[in-house]
Structure 1
Amino acid sequence: MTASVVVTGLGIVAPNGLGAEDYWSALCVGKSGIGPLTRFDAAPYPAKLAGEISGFAAEEHLPSRLMPQTDQVTRLSLVTADWALADADVRPADLPGFGMGVITASSAGGFEFSQNELKNLWNKGGEYVSAYQSFAWFYAVNTGQISIRNGMKGPSGVVVTDDAGGLDAVAQARRQVRKGTSLVVAGAVDALLCSWGWVGLHASGRLSTVNDPGLAYLPFDDRAAGHVPGEGGALLVLEPADSARARDAKVYGEVAGYGATFDSRAAGLRKAVELALQDAGSKPTDVDVVFADAAAEPELDRIEAETLVDVFGHRGVPVTAPKTMTGRLYAGGAALDLATAFLSMEKGVIPPTVHTEPADRYGLDMVTGQARTAEVRTALLLARGHGGFNSAMIVRS
């Protein structure tokens, strides 16, 4: 029998809350973290809104030696990992290094660090470029820095599948735990809010250029016109269920099923859902809530809605997209949804999708307006990356 893999710790950094408690409180009252960009002057760009993290001072959490060698995304990741491990009541120094791993996802690595060093190169010359540029930009830098900080020497890696990455990283971690690794930190944090990253995000053609934060990101709405970018995400601690029980750990729930495909058409997303249900040994009627990918792009919304109606029936399952309060966090978004699903199970509450007024033609039972009290035992999470990445995950209490 395949071993069960459970989540025992959550670390969260989001535009509307730092830490699981603050983030969850914000969700339940519909508090949004989306607003005008302040990190740089966005006036020359079509899109001017973002989900920015505020109130985060890295120097309050990390040693000074790490400051010159890390990007914003890595600092956020290191602190998020610390919070997840503390939540799991784990002290890495007390555990065998080769029994612990780190698997993260990334969409861009340390973009802001690279931008600053390229400015130095162009304006001053190569001798002014930091030696840390050699790794601070890299997709795998968060995995590496978390591993070094915590002495984690077991199976580790990075996944690069755009918005699907958060689920894919956790699925890889589940695989390694089943193979014998005793603990894996997994998930994703992304941060691309610099002018260089902003240019790249515009190239997708999917950014909302609406300037009203209450109208800019409206998935499944007739007014949908793209998404708002954000920064943040979540990291989770995964362990074998028997080990977690043996140390009397708090268990948020089980990573029960996973499916992934590469196909931008509706058939690809539906197949990923079917694979996840099959892997979990679950039926559609077992699912209590779906955390939607919620692209807010008409064709992508249509594909996702048709998939959910095909699998669950017309208004057959509650659907939510709390990312309307944070913006899309790219690789970090699916990991944050995953952490949110575990909190939803623990609290017996489905957080709302704010601002949006879903069109009747989609046939979805969207949780809008305010949070909905419900017994949540099984959740389905969907995530899609640019170009055709589809990932689906089943988690249960």
Structure 2
Amino acid sequence: MSSTQFLVVGAGLAGASTAWRLAERGYSVTLIERDVPASEHGSSHGSARIFRFPYPQRAYVDLVQQSVPGWAELSALHGSDLITRCGALDFGATRDPHRLAGVLAAAGVDHELVPQAEAVQRWPHIAFDTDVLFHAAGGVLDAESIVRTMVAAAQAMGAELLTGWPLQRLERTSSGFTAHATDGRTVAAERVVVSAGGWLPDLLGNLALPSGFLDAFPALEVREENAFHFPYRDADASSAGKWPTLIHKRADISVYALPGGRDAQFRGQKVAEYNAGRRLPSAAAQQGAIEPANRARVVEYVRRFLPGLEPEPYAETTCLFTNTPTEDFVIDEADGVTVVSPCSGHGAKFAPLLGEIAADVALGIGSVPERFRVGAARV
């Protein structure tokens, strides 16, 4: 049985970031992953995630700004920019672009509030139903490349990666913990960070956590989301700046769309209905099957609001969202175990910062947002 100062469970975006940041600080780190880093069965696979600044809550806008130096650091390690800047649009009555613009203005983030008629002229391949918020710094993240870059950086500083290592339970010992795999393998650690995504509901009760911590932990809702790739009508439609990312929220539907990236051959837009997939007890119950009714709703949405796309998907996939009731993250520690669940469908843009926050929590230092603590009053 090997021994380490820190055991990090889960090599998705948050876990890889935590392993990197702890190794960077000189700690002995072992990173275990039930499959492989950025696994297709987790929440951090593929090459297309939205990077954006707008939030109704100023706290999250500030955190995006705090993540910017980390993105520069990661891109330098990778050897090229991990964010493709194409701009980002927010519109729709329940997205409230005017309110978002006010928050960005207060935070000093460059943006434009574009009247609906002008937006139609600037982006004729999109049908707008309200005024539009545009910010040029938005873009697309390559999630899989980000994970691999962080894991490689952690390994370069001495971290060990164990793949095909599904955690079953933690056992407290006189020197810390013994982690038990489902096949009987073990790893000893002084402290543990668990970033298990959609598998967290199955694991929480097996992490040797205090009952009070478990009682206060917010309910987690795991969804198997559906995403569809629609081809551009115009051969030049994928040129820089013509297709920004978008978030469109109405009373009847909430949709996000973005250039599809490497895993969809850059042929079109990835379009999905937000938080509309089947509910699961945990990631272990995922089926990998598209829901026909979800496909029909998204196809109809594309036909109505994205005239620059052919309303017939050429590719489709599923992915996991693990949501808290408020969509706030959970990053908190109890008696040597830190639980990291920065999910709810919007965590990717914070990736290099999440590891810093999780490392601070695990070490009991730094200034951690109170809203991420278990049992915090959510605002």
Give the TM-score range, shorter chain.
under 0.3
Identify the structure with the greater helix proportion: 1
* TM-score with structure 1 setting the length: 0.26
Based on CA coordinates, which of the two structures has the bigger radius of gyration? Answer: 2
* TM-score with structure 2 setting the length: 0.27
Identify the structure with the greater strand proportion: 2
